[in-house]
Structure 1
Amino acid sequence: MGTSRSFMRKLDRACTTSYPRARHANPEHHDDNLNKDSDNTMSSSDPSKEELKARIAELERELEEFKSAAASSAPPAPAPTTTTTPNGSYEDSNDFKLSLPEYLRYGRQLLLPPLGLSGQLRLKQSSVLVIGAGGLGSPALMYLVGSGVGTVGVVDGDVVDVSNLHRQVMYGGCEGKAKVEGAREYLKRLNPNVNLVIYEEHLTPNNSLDTLAPYDLILDCTDTPLTRYLISDTCVLLNRKPLISASALKLEGTLTHFLKGKEGPCYRCIFPRAPVGVETCGDSGVLGPVVGVMGVLQALEAIKFLGLGEKDRKEQEQEGTKMLLFGAWPEMTWRSIKMRPRKKDCVVCGENPTITLEVFRKGEVDYGAFCGGVGLHDGERLRREERVKVQELKEALDKGRALVVDVRDETQYGITALPNSFNVPLRTLQQDPDDLPAVLQEAGQGQGQGQEGKEIFVVCRYGNDSQTATRILKEGWEREGQGFVVRDVIGGLDAWSREVDGEFPRY
């Protein structure tokens, strides 16, 4: 304090010392008088410039000494409670963890007692991976990003088709573009605060571990059994990473939270054997709002899981795993079924698993064989010589030597079909393969066609089910000793429309 008072007295004397100001006798000669009077004043009564400079330097030295003394004797200054940035963000402060625009954006969520500021901060610090950016993934992504989840990853290797748009509503104007790119553009406009990570590829056993590992929660928005088993297995191998799975087909949907806590079942616990003859949206159709509802429910379940505190999450885990069933038509129905806990003999999450991380990394899990088909995203189930292009079908039809078997269901066959083809749904072939010759004989006669001298061409919508049907037909007739020539048509009726007859409807 003594140092402070001494310095202040010196500073006060220095500041109150008066010096004569230049006076101007004649305002018209302002500049000349100013220069003349200033020179006279400085030379007669004022201190020299050198003296002033020396005095200023002395005061500056004393000021620095005062600052040093004060700093050594005073307690440390408290840390600032807020730190702003040029854009108004308070992210680095002790009191504010959201930017001011984020408070406005998420204000309606912040008002909810189950969430509040702490829940919103947990969302911001969380990461979610959405696998599949189609009918389920699109609405899930929109609401996850809109709610402020910090990092959202998107995995999809497909491009946008016009047939997607009735249910994948964020892709308007993106036809022909990669889905992940269309998603990036839309979601960045929706909420620029969210970190988006894009994977323009299909999920496979070769990339699943690295892709899923960085995320807190996984959303399965795919529609094939092979991918569902792959995702669930990968989550188990990554220390039981929580998984929210949904499905939608025709007018119904399901939602399940797998690997919930230590005793929650995985996908294999509930479905130890792969289902046979699984339908997809592309095969059997789906009503847009149905798949939209299920995708939004996935986002809702994810927000609940990520936004809850540890205590509330433990309480939810104790309730066990449930499967939600939704029916849209004719009456809207909701049912909840409690699922059994983790199976001790499960091959991946049980006490003595056979699918281990080492086995998985070596590529020894054959998902194609397990699901009764081919490998992931491998569309061929027949040898090349057993398949023909649509141009070869047209040539055979023009020469009158083609018998066309359409294996789509009755509803699809009623939408559009090739002239003189006849309908034997794949499900019929699968249920009663021993009566195939009789079935085809009856169907062919019903269309006024005989089988002698003709080749049989099997078609479906995209050339997938027709491969299965061709295999069933060949195996069935070989057992009967029949010598029919059976060919699968690559690309199905969709390829026929694109490459042969542009007037044939695509749907």
Structure 2
Amino acid sequence: MEEDTRDRPIPSGTAASTPAAQNGCSRQLTDDEVDRYSRQMIVPGMGKEGQLRLINSRVLIIGAGGLGCPAAQYIAGAGIGTVGIVDGDVVETSNLHRQVGHATSRIGMKKVESLITHLRGLNPLPSYIPYPTHLTPQNAAEIISQYDLIMDCTDNPATRYLISDMCVLLGKPLVSAASIQKSGQLIVLNCPPTPQGLVDGNYAPCYRCCFRKPPPPSSMVSCGEAGIMGPVVGMMGVAQAGEAIKILASALHIPPRPLADDDATPERNLRQPTLLIYTYDLESAVGPYSFRALRMGGRRRNCFACGEGSTLTLEGVQAGSPNYEQFCSMPTSRASLPQEERITAAAYHAAKERGELSEHILLDTREKEHFSFGSIEGAVNVPFGKVLMKAAAIMRDGGSGRDILPVEAGDRDAPIFVVCRTGLDSQETVEKLKELGLDDGGKRKIVDIAGGMRAWKQDVDPSFPFI
């Protein structure tokens, strides 16, 4: 009896992207495949050959969340032969409004296992390979090298740069998307793949070509902090699947042919790179969404990853060079304030109960949507973004730091306690208030409540609705 290797990762170095896989093969479609994919095959431009290319293709989906779930559904439904899924997280209740490949009955299950369970119910014909881990510089090459096309469905910049760099080094086309709150974006990169340093001609860019610098750390917020609309991230995931199917069915991922001596110009078998931006206007009853397409440039000559003289190597990445988290200045949970400028949620509550804080200002820097679900008694709401904007305006145009405080806080010199959602924004707020002189040269106490409202729920009030 033949051994079943359906869900077993193929060893590194095997021929995962052969000419047969790229161009289809001579085998005939089975009756099950004809029945299942018939409506897709009769679309102009697909046909039997296109379907066979899909069946013989291998796609890796990195991230089994809001982008990865809808993308995986349409990738599996289209008949991609092998689907790998990378994600180290487990299913949580807060995922379910947008991560449509999971279910209430699978809360607590690894996301890759949950999503594959869903996909098998949709289409049992493909092979599904789970990678229940986070992608790292150490395991990225081993995993990515086994696939024909990569889909970046992650939610943090450091991983996006890592994935793009590996796709350049391993010669893989990349379909990348991102989404937050009410907007999303999509771009196809490194398609068709081109060797490092080849910059003459209209060659496809990598992620670094389009986004030379990561966003500032203060703008790097997760869906848990900023929120996300399910239809927005779903739209981007579906669009990712559409681009991947198009690339694989038409063999656009095959590298361009080598230039002949008598060629006057390089072959240009790729479209103008385009960044698709989708915006969902939740507050308007008319024209609820919009699409914009921005033309992007081709490969940059001085790109760190794919340009001339690039020093990026597989060995370097695995050894920690570049350092992706350092490059993106990822925010951490380490305290940046000295101990005397911080107080625990429990200690603040106890002092307040003893009447030791009868005269003080409690500044809550969460967004108004978070604040509306509940707050500590007496708190006044000034969202962190407004703190930064007001501070910048005061430093630019002049004015008093007291302008940051809301009217209801009064014009007092009482101590200021600052709280946020998890204890990061509040620390920066304390530093900004001191920078603007609100501490009166150290005479006025400005203190961060460590751990924010998460700590308040854990240590003071378990019934608090932490969102």
Q: TM-score range by the shorter chain?
A: 0.7 to 0.9
Structure 2 gaps, min length 5: 1-24, 195-202, 257-266
Do the aligned partners of 1:393 and 1:489 also contact (CA within 8 Å) in 2?
A: no
Question: Residues 106-125 of structure 1 correspond to what in structure 2 (within 5 A)?
Answer: 106-125=37-56
Structure 2 residue 123 is matched with structure 1 residue 191: yes
User: Match of 2:320?
Assistant: 363
Question: Residues 33-432 of structure 1 correspond to what in structure 2 (within 5 A)?
Answer: 96-173=27-104, 174-239=106-171, 241-261=172-192, 262=194, 263-276=203-216, 277-278=218-219, 279-309=221-251, 317-329=269-281, 330=284, 331=287, 332-374=289-331, 379-380=333-334, 382=336, 385=339, 389-399=344-354, 400-401=356-357, 403-431=361-389
Q: CA RMSD in A?
A: 3.2
Distance 1:442 1:178 in 2: 44
Compute the displacement of 1:319 (Å): 1.8
Compute the displacement of 1:381 (Å): 5.4
Distance 1:470 1:156 in 2: 36
State the secondary structure of the residue aligned to 2:101: helix
State the AA in 1 paired with 2:303. C
State the secondary structure of the residue aligned to 2:151: strand
State the secondary structure of the residue aligned to 1:397: helix
State the AA in 2 paired with 1:305. I
Change in 2 beyond 3 A, CA 1:258/1:210: same
Distance 1:444 1:366 in 2: 41
CA offsets, 1:105-144, max 9 Å, x none? 1121122231122111111111111111111111001111
State the secondary structure of the residue aligned to 1:104: helix
State the secondary structure of the residue aligned to 1:346: coil
State the secondary structure of the residue aligned to 1:368: helix
State the AA in 1 paired with 2:275. M
Change in 2 beyond 3 A, CA 1:359/1:404: farther
Distance 1:132 1:431 in 2: 33
Distance 1:231 1:322 in 2: 19
Change in 2 beyond 3 A, CA 1:235/1:457: farther
Compute the displacement of 1:487 (Å): 3.0
User: Match of 2:260?
Assistant: none
Do the aligned partners of 1:149 and 1:194 also contact (CA within 8 Å) in 2?
A: yes
CA offsets, 1:36-56, max 9 Å, x none? xxxxxxxxxxxxxxxxxxxxx
Compute the displacement of 1:364 (Å): 2.6
Aligned positions, number: 407
**Higher RCO (CA-CA < 8 Å; seq separation 6+):** 2
CA offsets, 1:315-361, max 9 Å, x none? 99432211112223242322222111111011111102243334323
Compute the displacement of 1:382 (Å): 3.5
Q: Which has the larger radius of gyration?
A: 1
Structure 2 residue 432 is matched with structure 1 residue 501: no
User: Match of 1:77?
Assistant: none
User: Match of 1:78?
Assistant: none
Distance 2:63 2:343 in 1: 31
Do the aligned partners of 2:61 and 2:151 also contact (CA within 8 Å) in 1?
A: yes
Change in 2 beyond 3 A, CA 1:95/1:352: closer
Do the aligned partners of 2:182 and 2:279 also contact (CA within 8 Å) in 1?
A: yes
State the secondary structure of the residue aligned to 1:337: strand
| TM-score, scaled to structure 1 | 0.71
Do the aligned partners of 2:56 and 2:81 also contact (CA within 8 Å) in 1?
A: yes
State the secondary structure of the residue aligned to 2:442: coil
Distance 1:250 1:147 in 2: 29
Do the aligned partners of 1:406 and 1:421 also contact (CA within 8 Å) in 2?
A: yes
Do the aligned partners of 1:381 and 1:468 also contact (CA within 8 Å) in 2?
A: no
Do the aligned partners of 2:343 and 2:447 also contact (CA within 8 Å) in 1?
A: no
Change in 2 beyond 3 A, CA 1:319/1:162: same
Distance 2:71 2:454 in 1: 29
State the secondary structure of the residue aligned to 2:336: coil
Change in 2 beyond 3 A, CA 1:177/1:404: farther
State the AA in 2 paired with 1:158. D
Distance 2:442 2:338 in 1: 22
Structure 1 gaps, min length 5: 1-93
Change in 2 beyond 3 A, CA 1:404/1:367: farther
Compute the displacement of 1:247 (Å): 1.7
| TM-score, scaled to structure 2 | 0.77
State the AA in 2 paired with 1:219. M
Question: Which structure has the highest helix share of the two?
Answer: 1
State the AA in 2 paired with 1:443. L
Do the aligned partners of 2:64 and 2:111 also contact (CA within 8 Å) in 1?
A: yes
